[in-house]
Amino acid sequence: MSILNKEAAENSVPAGGSAAAKPPAWGDPPSDDSHNRETINAQTQRLAALGFMVAGVCHEVSNPLAAVHSMLQILQSKRGVTPETLEKGLASISANVARVLAITRKLGDFSRVGTDPPAAVCVDAAMEEALALLRHSSHGADVHVTYRGAPDARVLARPVTLQQVLFNIVQNAAQAMNGVGAIDAETRIEDRAVRIRIHDGGPGIADDVLPRVFEPFFTTKTPGEGTGLGLAISYEIAHELGGTIRASNHPQGGACFDVVLPSIRE
């Protein structure tokens, strides 16, 4: 399913409709006998999602490569290049190469499915790991996070996938606040689902931006601040786990992300 379809325009991931195997809404994890089949299905689904990103990948990679090529031509065409010009040229090349590497690394991480079978994942533990990563990121040191957990909340996932979804959201929140502010997060068990809500103290999401927040490579950040892939990847992972992800503006200000996933019992 394309992440550019009508549901994406409405900021919501459909809870079903995929041909790939999906985790049950509740119950025990699948048996080991189905592990290989589920791994192949998950890999196929992720590669299909990447297919919809190809046009954006070509555009995003071609721009920095064109900049590198132009800078190399400039440096090669000049005789007696001054140290200052050389330093600026090499800095430009380094920055553009780093951007290409960041894009390919994120796409590579997303396309790979671990060999570990899906298992019951503690949501609180995944959130703690995501917040630990945030604290060590360039925008997270001065961000205060309040988290109200649900110790019994479990979802069926592969290791690190839920952590990746949550980290992408809190990192996006920290960047929206320019690295200074507060994030309020909460996990609740609702009937047969787990809801994870993340609310930041930033400026919120503009009305014209809200329908596009999950589009791959769409970003309002300044060049070099992000690849525009974090929320798109979170969107696809949430769908792969049989859940939904929704972006909205909180009545009290700031952006609000709701991730709803099927809960399981161990």
CATH number of the structural domain spanning residue 203: 3.30.565.10
Let me know if residue 247 belongs to a domain: yes
For residues 226 and 212, the model is more confident at 212
Candidate from 1-10, 85-94, 205-214 with smallest mean pLDDT:
1-10
Let me know if residue 186 belongs to a domain: yes
What's the N-to-C CA distance of the chain in angstroms?
A: 30
Write the single-letter amino acid at 210. Answer: L
For residue 189, what are the domain limits? 6-15+118-262
- Give the length of the chain: 266
CA gap 203, 223 in Å, rounded: 19
Let me know if residue 85 belongs to a domain: no
Query: Helices in 139-257 by DSSP H: which ranges?
Result: 161-176, 230-240
Pairing label, strands 255-262, 244-249? antiparallel
Number of structural domains the chain divides into: 1
Helix, strand or coil, per DSSP, at residue 196: strand
Helix, strand or coil, per DSSP, at residue 55: helix
Let me know if residue 143 belongs to a domain: yes
Let me know if residue 64 belongs to a domain: no
For residue 12, is pLDDT > 80? no
Let me know if residue 95 belongs to a domain: no
CA gap 163, 114 in Å, rounded: 14
Across the range 63-75, mean pLDDT stands at 82
User: Which residue in this structure is represented by tokens 């994942």?
Assistant: 121
- On whether the CB atoms of residues 166 and 126 are closer than 8 A, the answer is yes
For residues 120 and 81, the model is more confident at 120
CA gap 121, 263 in Å, rounded: 10
For residue 121, is pLDDT > 80? yes
- pLDDT tens digits for 141-185? 899 999 999 999 999 997 678 988 999 999 999 999 999 999 999
Beta bridge partners of 249: 255
Let me know if residue 136 belongs to a domain: yes
Let me know if residue 209 belongs to a domain: yes
- On whether the CB atoms of residues 134 and 170 are closer than 8 A, the answer is yes
CA gap 154, 73 in Å, rounded: 55
